[in-house]
Chains A and B, each alone.
Chain A
Amino acid sequence: MDNALALLERHGSESRIIAGGHSLLPMMKLRLARPEVLIDINDLGDLSYVRRDGDELCLGAMARHRDLLNSHEAGTLFPILHDAERVIADPIVRNRGTVGGSICQADPSEDLSAVFAALRATAVIGSSKGTRKVAMDDFHIGPYSTAVGPAEMLLEVRIPVQHGSGSAYEKVERRAGDWAIAAAGAALRVEGGSVSYAGIGLAAVGAEHFRCARAEASLLGQRASEESFSEAARLVSESVNPVADQRGPEDYKRHLAGELTLRALRRAAARAEGQGG
């Protein structure tokens, strides 16, 4: 790790960290990325963990999608993680692709970014000078751009565990392994019949920081019901900024974002109930 950080400091913005390589190598083939130096961190086995640490679930930056999918603990605490991982790329790509690489690529359609936004995760970023924590809202600066500086690397993602919460992820894609046409994730905590926590993460629809703060706020203090979920879904449809492309027109994606939010909220609520919250 020290070696990787020293190399980063030496080569700065001319260098890129390569983990699974399933985002960076395609970018290099398209000449959208032209790093002079690649720093291969695949041997940093001590960053490949998925483990609980007190009130947080911690995902090492080198945890592969497969590791997350195989973690019973992760799937139990946050079903949204397994929902999303089952539809991220395909099983062979999931053998290589990493959690850290996915969110550092910061593709606007990337699923885990939406999931971590819904769960209010925190990124831990390291450099030769030490580590710092960055909330997901501040981690994504824009498309393909993150708070990780030229001499820094992402070390882990920490997700706060909330008792009595439920979560779910819904994605529509054209075929297995494709990027989402639209995707929505929801995390809910229900106490005494009313919503005490709501997270709504969105991918591929131009949502600011991969979430919808208006819809989240509308749910707080409300009963977890079809009415409140429909209103949140309506706000999502209204708030997002999808772009028409080969995956579909703008109005279709706007509709999908709302509908998928509704479905994710229903499933998240059912799961929260199952948790005895």
Chain B
Amino acid sequence: MQVTMTVNGNEVTATIEPRLLLVHFIRDHLLLRGTHWGCDTSNCGTCVLWMDGEPVKSCTVLAAMANGREIRTVEDLERGGVLDPVQQGFIEEHGLQCGFCTPGMMMTARWLLDHNPDPSEEEIREAISGQICRCTGYKNIVSAIRWAAEHPSTTEVNA
């Protein structure tokens, strides 16, 4: 079957098997490997990307169901060589060890900050409660997201 969707602002059309999951379409057809494939059971959250402006677990969405929709992946966080504050925050606060959960964490964090620019630690922990960091680095992940909240524009950091 044929699907057409917008991925990070670019329209893509492809012929796919109906059973293909969105996460595999993004990784294996579009070669956008920033989105990770983890538990495959919608528990770990490393496959989180945005569909029509909302974070979803792409291991539990069929690529066919994304037909006509807008997808945003972690590759779209950096714009024109400038890191998103969330990305900078993960650097500043050592928000990752192995990095496997990071893309999903950052996509959820970006969405949270877009809707709640000054979240409390509790609100951050609730927002990422569907995502697992097996390095157990939650403290630093929360700090990284707080850092991004306190530095809403990274240009000031790079200056």
Q: How far is the CA of A177 from the CA of B48 in the complex (A)?
A: 16
Are the C-beta atoms of A92 and B65 separated by less than 8 Å?
A: no
> Which of A26, A29, A96, A177 meets B61, CB within 8 Å?
A96
**Which of B26-34, B52-60, B74-82, B144-152 is near enough to bind chain A?**
B52-60
In this complex, what residue of B is CB-closest to A177? B130
Tell yes or no: B156 within 8 A of A by CB: no
> Which of B18, B40, B56 meets A92, CB within 8 Å?
B56
> Which of A25, A26, A90 meets B129, CB within 8 Å?
A90
> Which of A21, A91, A93, A176 meets B62, CB within 8 Å?
A21
Tell yes or no: A147 within 8 A of B by CB: no
B1-27 contacts to A (CB < 8 Å) = 18, 21
Smallest CB separation, B92 vs chain A (Å): 25
Tell yes or no: B114 within 8 A of A by CB: no
Tell yes or no: A42 within 8 A of B by CB: yes
Kindly list chain A residues whose C-beta atoms are within 8 Å of the C-beta of B40: 29
Are the C-beta atoms of A26 and B130 separated by less than 8 Å?
A: no
Are the C-beta atoms of A40 and B64 separated by less than 8 Å?
A: yes
> Which of B18, B41, B127 meets A26, CB within 8 Å?
B41
Are the C-beta atoms of A92 and B43 separated by less than 8 Å?
A: no
B95-148 contacts to A (CB < 8 Å) = 108, 126-127, 129-131
With A177-B43, A177-B130 in contact, do A92 and B61 touch (Cβ < 8 Å)? no
Are the C-beta atoms of B56 and A95 separated by less than 8 Å?
A: yes
With A22-B42, A26-B41 in contact, do A92 and B62 touch (Cβ < 8 Å)? no
> Which of B41, B42, B43, B126 meets A91, CB within 8 Å?
B126
Residue among A21, A38, A40, A90 with the highest chain B CB neighbour number at 10 A? A90
Smallest CB separation, A165 vs chain B (Å): 28
Interface size class of B (residues with CB under 8 A): 20 to 34
Using an 8 Å CB-CB cutoff, how does the interface string of A37-75 with B read, 1 for contact, 0 for none? 010101000000000000000000000000000000000
Tell yes or no: A18 within 8 A of B by CB: yes
Smallest CB separation, B124 vs chain A (Å): 11
Are the C-beta atoms of A93 and B57 separated by less than 8 Å?
A: yes
Kindly list chain A residues whose C-beta atoms are within 8 Å of the C-beta of B61: 21, 25, 96
Kindly list chain A residues whose C-beta atoms are within 8 Å of the C-beta of B127: 91
Q: How far is the CA of A92 from the CA of B128 in the complex (A)?
A: 8
Are the C-beta atoms of B60 and A22 separated by less than 8 Å?
A: yes
Smallest CB separation, B19 vs chain A (Å): 8
Tell yes or no: A243 within 8 A of B by CB: no
Tell yes or no: B45 within 8 A of A by CB: yes
Are the C-beta atoms of B130 and A96 separated by less than 8 Å?
A: no
In this complex, what residue of A is CB-closest to B107? A92
Are the C-beta atoms of A96 and B60 separated by less than 8 Å?
A: yes
Smallest CB separation, A91 vs chain B (Å): 6
Kindly list chain A residues whose C-beta atoms are within 8 Å of the C-beta of B130: 89-93, 176-177
With A96-B56, A177-B130 in contact, do A26 and B65 touch (Cβ < 8 Å)? no
Are the C-beta atoms of A95 and B55 separated by less than 8 Å?
A: yes
Smallest CB separation, B5 vs chain A (Å): 13
Smallest CB separation, B137 vs chain A (Å): 17
Kindly list chain B residues whose C-beta atoms are within 8 Å of the C-beta of A91: 126-127, 129-130
Using an 8 Å CB-CB cutoff, how does the interface string of A209-233 with B read, 1 for contact, 0 for none? 0000000000000000000000000
The 5 closest A-B pairs by CB, nearest first: A90-B130, A176-B129, A92-B130, A95-B54, A25-B60
Interface residues of B, Cβ cutoff 8 Å to A: 18, 21, 40-43, 45, 48, 54-57, 60-62, 64-65, 108, 126-127, 129-131
Given contacts A25-B21, A25-B60, 18 further A-B contacts (CB under 8 A): A21-B60, A21-B61, A25-B61, A25-B62, A26-B42, A40-B65, A90-B45, A90-B129, A90-B131, A91-B129, A92-B108, A92-B130, A93-B60, A95-B56, A96-B60, A96-B61, A176-B129, A177-B130
Q: What are 13 pairs between A and B in contact, CB < 8 Å?
A: A18-B62, A18-B65, A21-B62, A25-B21, A25-B61, A38-B62, A42-B65, A90-B45, A91-B130, A92-B57, A92-B131, A96-B57, A177-B130
